[in-house]
């Protein structure tokens, strides 16, 4: 099953601590490139999130964005007094006043400014991060499904063009005997107009040389082989984008050879039509994973 590198997925869910939403976009790329945008609370899980996406996608440029909207009254941090430290500071201040033999009323605001007396307790990020990871799993599965649907359309388009390539290859095969006969006839007519007749052996040699020069049976056989190999690739379960890229190069090489060997307007037109079909396939293959 062929997969496209183009896809989109969005999942959103409300939790007790707030609303999470993932948005995934993918486009074609030579390799796998993942870009993740996360709120600060989720940065610690970024490597694991990248690895998770890599299990679902092997090729393409992926843009993943997580949005987090905390629930009212659940997202703020809590400020608390470090009672042990504050008590110890008061004791030390009392000891210092006794040692100096002076009466000293402590300035509580000074004690509050002492590092560590007031602590900012942040909420535990683990539940948020775990929920985001689970939601990313769902988004990645949805993205893969979207890429699979797009891949079905690519496969259908490729199969349609492959049918066209096979049809034109068959047409050319059917024309070849007539083209060879006409070529031989034209050559004999030109030879007959010469003032001095040629040796019959030389005539046959020239006919054989021209026939060999325009022989495209090998190119047609290779076109048929490439069609079958492409169809087999479309049925594989693993990513086949690079394999298809290579096959498109081979298709193009055979069509160029057919064009260069053409001695008939029909085969020239067929070579043009083949080039059009191959270019259409190449454009589709650029989006295949």
pLDDT tens per residue, range 13-42: 998 888 999 999 999 998 999 999 999 889
Pairing label, strands 60-70, 32-37: parallel
Long-range contacts of 233-238 (CB under 8 A, 24+ apart): 233/2, 234/2, 234/155, 234/158, 234/159, 235/1, 236/1, 237/1
pLDDT in the model for residue 204: 60
Q: Of 71, 90, 86, which is closest to residue 119 (Cα–Cα)?
A: 86
pLDDT tens per residue, range 219-237: 899 999 999 999 999 998 8
pLDDT in the model for residue 83: 81
Say yes or no to pLDDT of 127 above 90.
Answer: no
Which of these ranges, 102-106, 173-177, 217-221, has the smallest mean pLDDT? 102-106
Average pLDDT over residues 184-207: 62
Q: Could you give the CA distance from residue 167 to residue 139 in angstroms, rounded to a whole number?
A: 42
Q: Could you give the CA distance from residue 228 to residue 81 in angstroms, rounded to a whole number?
A: 76
Q: Could you give the CA distance from residue 243 to residue 232 in angstroms, rounded to a whole number?
A: 11
**What φ, ψ does residue 121 adopt, rounded to 5°?**
-90, 110
pLDDT in the model for residue 164: 96
Predicted TM-score (pTM) of the model is: 0.70
pLDDT tens per residue, range 262-283: 878 888 899 999 999 999 999 9
Domain boundaries, the chain: 7-73+125-147, 78-121, 148-285
Strand partners, 288: 4
33 CA to centre of own chain: 9
Q: Could you give the CA distance from residue 29 to residue 235 in angstroms, rounded to a whole number?
A: 22
pLDDT in the model for residue 41: 85
Query: What is the CATH code for 7-73+125-147?
Result: 3.30.230.10
Provide DSSP, 127-175: HHHHHHHHHHHHHHHHHHHHHHHHHHHHHHHHHHHHHHHHHHHHHHHHH
């Amino acid at each position: 099953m062929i997969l496209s590198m183009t896809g989109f997925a969005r999942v959103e869910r409300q939790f007790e601590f707030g609303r999470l939403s993932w948005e995934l976009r993918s486009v074609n790329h030579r390799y796998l490139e993942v870009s993740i945008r996360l709120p600060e609370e989720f940065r610690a899980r970024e490597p694991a999130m990248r690895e998770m996406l890599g299990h679902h996608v092997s090729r393409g440029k992926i843009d993943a964005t997580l949005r987090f909207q905390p629930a009212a009254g659940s997202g703020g941090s809590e400020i608390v007094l470090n009672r042990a430290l504050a008590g110890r500071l008061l004791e030390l201040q009392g000891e210092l006043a006794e040692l100096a033999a002076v009466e000293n009323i402590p300035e509580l605001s000074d004690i509050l400014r002492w590092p560590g007396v007031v602590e900012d307790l942040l909420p535990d990020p683990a539940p948020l991060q775990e929920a985001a990871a689970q939601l990313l799993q769902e988004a990645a599965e949805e993205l893969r499904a979207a890429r699979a649907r797009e891949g079905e359309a690519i496969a259908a388009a490729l199969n349609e063009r492959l049918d066209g390539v096979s049809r034109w290859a068959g047409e050319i095969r059917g024309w070849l005997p007539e083209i060879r006969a006409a070529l031989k006839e034209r050559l004999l007519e030109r030879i007959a107009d010469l003032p001095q007749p040629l040796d019959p052996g030389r005539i046959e040699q020239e006919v054989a040389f021209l026939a060999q020069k325009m022989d495209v049976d090998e190119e047609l056989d290779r076109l048929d082989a490439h069609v079958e190999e492409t169809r087999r690739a479309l049925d594989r379960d693993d990513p086949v984008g690079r394999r298809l890229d290579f096959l498109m190069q081979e298709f193009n090489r055979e069509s160029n050879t057919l064009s260069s060997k053409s001695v008939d307007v029909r085969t020239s037109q067929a070579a043009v039509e083949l080039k059009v079909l191959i270019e259409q396939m190449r454009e589709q293959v650029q989006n295949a994973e």
